[in-house]
Amino acid sequence: MTKDKLPLKGERIQKVLSQLGHGSRREIEGWIKEQRLMVNGKVAELGDRIVEQDVVQLDKRRLRSTLSFQEPLKTLIYNKPEGEICTRSDPENRKTVFQSLPKIKQGRWIAVGRLDITTLGLLIFTTDGELANKLMHPSNEIEREYAVRILGKVETEHLEKLKAGVLLDDGMAKFSEITFSGGDGANRWYSVTLKEGRNREVRRLWESQGLTVTRLIRTRFGPISLPRKVRNGHTQLLEKTELKKLYEAVDMRFPEVTEALFKPRTRKVRQSPYRGRPYKTGRK
């Protein structure tokens, strides 16, 4: 085999670090361009590959980059309450969604998309940066479903326009499905579905028809729906079948290391030292 045909060693640095939950591939590529990443004491470059023995640092802080010691990649759902923001920190000291998540030893939780401060409902968090990146990428057209309460009289003409497409300030947008869900007063409930997640897109679509959204709850993201048993402000790890559907939605292979999360644990029963001996009551 000639030298130019030898297989390349290792994996691309952004792939390894994203799989370990340090960030999305796009975010890691930004670190490389900003010369914040170093491999074995040298500034990393786009296209660099790493192996298990390499030492990777971000802003001179060492990152875990050894796949052989990788913990199972975790994914959970969170029922976001009103008033929390989807950032890691806030200069106004408002509560963030990350403060409600369980602590993890390695990597970090990555939010799959965002909800604005007044929107409630389903958020997905994962330690798999590659999964998060693909779920958020517009080309994959992952469906989002919302329960929305509308103030004002909704005409058939409004619904037709919202499904055909409306020109917003950042381009055309539309709902792929709209279903009336109930209500007979000034407020009516609808279930809407769309295949992208632009900022405040659901609200802006209804507002384009002169209607006001008074309540907005995300109920589904791709194949994952918000269960009734997950109370407001609480989290739940995804079951194996649910998690596999999430990976299949973006044509990703279910990571073998994650199988460890779902293996039944064997409980060691401690045998009593008095087993087999005659029982004594202490009475004569």
List own/partner pairs for 256-260 with CB under 8 A and 24 or more apart. 257/70, 257/71, 257/72, 257/73, 258/72, 258/73, 258/74, 259/72, 260/72
State the residue for tokens 């199988």: 259
How many residues does the structure list for the chain? 284
Tokens of 203: 């609200």
| Catalytic-role residue among 54, 116, 170, 184 | 116
Beta bridge partners of 235: 78
Q: Tell me the C-alpha distance between 124 and 238, whole Å.
A: 9
CB 82 within 8 A of CB 135: no
3-state helix, strand, coil in the chain (%, to 5): 25, 25, 50
Tokens of 270: 């401690």
Of the candidates 62, 43, 64, the one whose C-alpha atom is nearest the C-alpha of residue 52 is 64
DSSP string, 31-99: HHHTT-EEETTEE--TT-EE-TT--EEETTEEE---GGGPPPP-EEEEEEPTT-BSSS--TT---BGGG
Tokens of 126: 């994962």
- Do β-strands 56-58 and 37-39 pair in parallel, antiparallel, or remain unpaired? antiparallel
Secondary structure letter of residue 140 according to DSSP: G
CB 102 within 8 A of CB 235: yes
Is 116 labeled as catalytic in the residue annotation? yes
* Catalytic (active-site) positions: 116
